[in-house]
Amino acid sequence: MYFILSLNCSKFVLKLNLKEMKLAKSKSLLIAILVWLPFLAFSQDCSNFCVWPGDGNNNGVANHFDVLQLGVASNSTGPFRVDWDVDWDAKEAEDWTESFVTNNANFKHADANGDGFIDINDIYPIGDNFGSTNALFTGTPEGNNITGPDLTATLNQTTYTDGQLVTIKVSLGSQESPVSDLIGLAFSLEIDTQYVQQVIEPVTWEFGLIGPESDLYLFDKWEPGISDAIHFAFARNNGIPINGYGDILTVQLVIDDNLSLRYSEPQPYEINIKDVLGIDALETDLLITSQGDEATLLVTTAVNELTDEQISIRPNPFNNTIKIYNKENLIIENITVHDVYGRVVYDRYKPENEPDLSSLITGVYYLSIQTDQGIYSTKIVKSK
């Protein structure tokens, strides 16, 4: 007796000799085989018709670009997968009625968790399997690198020193050139990790332009030690496009606090946006341009230590504000306050002469004032 199971991805033939088995045992075995045979089939290798969880566009790799497929196919339904496992291997899945326009991949590929419905739950396998590839992967870049002002990354200062907090604003569009008809965007932000001690997580998404959060698929992936880039993507989940301009996210990182031990000269620091893909509801590439920013990393061993004769702080202890007495009219470039654990709790570029430190809790802090002539450092105490 033969049983044949023929599916999209594979064909299995099972031969049973009932005469050589007792009837009772053979019936039990037959029932077990009929129940488990589909699951056995689904665990086997198969062709490009199978689903690889997280590879929404079926190009052989799971990455942030697959979030865009969630935006296009959001809320679509189809046959659920028998195998709901989201490990990175081939999953047999019945075709849905719709396919993506750009590469004709079936919507079933966007159903990463296999439940028959495309929603926020399908974003998690993308992160779990990020960077995984199969035989379909060719290595072809998925984004554009067109220099221009559409998508910009801006540093909050032009100079930084050891251990200083860096804030990066990523903005989309401008008053002169707003974005229009955008349904999803994917890109990478290069941060040159040789100078970075820590990326502060989580990333802060800004919802003035792209929000509200409930209308979005949001994705960010940072792989320290593997890549210099943080990968981002967002897509609308209701089909309503984005029009306008504004900030879309904020990234904070900390410069290496051993910078001055590693370098004797100031170092150039650059951030760049690369591999940008923005699409509309018809999956048209909107050719979003991008540009980064640059700053200088100052080496503190080459900077003078200022004295109380040049700068002083009053009152100390203080309640809410302190006043900087700049006795030689130096140009104050930045103020940084660290707690006793070395964490940056206050950081201001071109500050006022009376910084408001009311947000700090009672305790001891270390203040550093960077000027054009050197750095002034002192201990300050926040009282009740």
pLDDT digits (tens, 9 = 90+) for 164-198: 999 999 999 999 999 999 999 999 999 999 999 89
Is there a domain that residue 271 lies in?
yes
Percent of the chain whose predicted confidence (pLDDT) is above 90: 65
Task: State whether 196 and 287 are in the same domain.
Answer: yes
CATH of residue 176: 2.60.40.680
Amino acid 226: pLDDT: 86
Q: Choose the weakest-confidence range: 7-21, 145-159, 231-245, 368-382.
A: 7-21
Amino acid 41: pLDDT: 44
Is there a domain that residue 281 lies in?
yes
Amino acid 4: pLDDT: 34
Task: State whether 247 and 261 are in the same domain.
Answer: yes
Which residues 6+ apart lie within 8 Å of 118 measured at CB?
A: 70, 73, 74, 75, 76, 77, 107, 110, 111
> 32, 126, 113: which is closest to 80 by C-alpha?
113
Task: State whether 185 and 80 are in the same domain.
Answer: no
Amino acid 30: pLDDT: 53
d(CA 170, CA 152): 6
Task: State whether 170 and 296 are in the same domain.
Answer: yes
Q: Give the end of a domain, one of 301, 327, 344.
A: 301
Helix (H), strand (E) at residue 212: none
Task: State whether 66 and 94 are in the same domain.
Answer: yes
d(CA 296, CA 373): 16
Average predicted confidence (pLDDT) for the chain = 87
Is there a domain that residue 306 lies in?
no
Task: State whether 37 and 87 are in the same domain.
Answer: no
Task: State whether 167 and 296 are in the same domain.
Answer: yes
**DSSP annotation string for 281-349:** TT--B----EE-EEEEE--GGGSPBP-TTTEEEESSSBSSB-EEEETT---EEEEEEEETTS-EEEEEE
Q: What is the value of pTM for the model shown?
A: 0.70
Pairing of β 147-155 and β 290-291: parallel
- Is the predicted pLDDT of residue 230 greater than 90, yes or no? yes
> 218, 207, 147, 213: which is closest to 184 by C-alpha?
218
Tell me the three state secondary structure of residue 32.
helix
Q: What mean pLDDT is predicted for residues 102-126?
A: 96
Amino acid 166: pLDDT: 95
Domain hosting residue 207, numbered range: 147-301
- Is the predicted pLDDT of residue 132 greater than 90, yes or no? yes
Q: Which two tokens stand for residue 168?
A: 């990066």
Q: Give the end of a domain, one of 86, 115, 137.
A: 137
Is there a domain that residue 166 lies in?
yes
Task: State whether 324 and 196 are in the same domain.
Answer: no
Number of domains in the chain: 4
Is there a domain that residue 142 lies in?
no
Q: What is the pLDDT of residues 148-161, one digit of tens each?
A: 999 999 999 999 98
Is there a domain that residue 97 lies in?
yes
Type of residue numbered 27: K
Task: State whether 199 and 113 are in the same domain.
Answer: no
Q: Give the end of a domain, one of 271, 301, 331.
A: 301
Confidence of residue 8 (pLDDT cuts 50, 70, 90): very low
* Under 8 Å between Cβ of 369 and 332: yes
* CA 303 vs CA 259, 262, 339: distances in Å: 13, 15, 23
Q: What is the pLDDT of residues 11-49, one digit of tens each?
A: 333 434 444 444 444 555 555 545 445 444 444 455 558
Confidence of residue 352 (pLDDT cuts 50, 70, 90): confident
Task: State whether 174 and 283 are in the same domain.
Answer: yes
Amino acid 17: pLDDT: 43
CATH of residue 348: 2.60.40.10
SS3 content of the chain, % helix, strand, coil (to 5): 15, 40, 45
Phi/psi of residue 106, each to 5°?
-70, 150
Tell me the three state secondary structure of residue 112.
coil
For the chain, the distance separating the N- and C-terminal CA atoms, rounded to the nearest angstrom, is: 87
Task: State whether 274 and 205 are in the same domain.
Answer: yes
Task: State whether 233 and 319 are in the same domain.
Answer: no
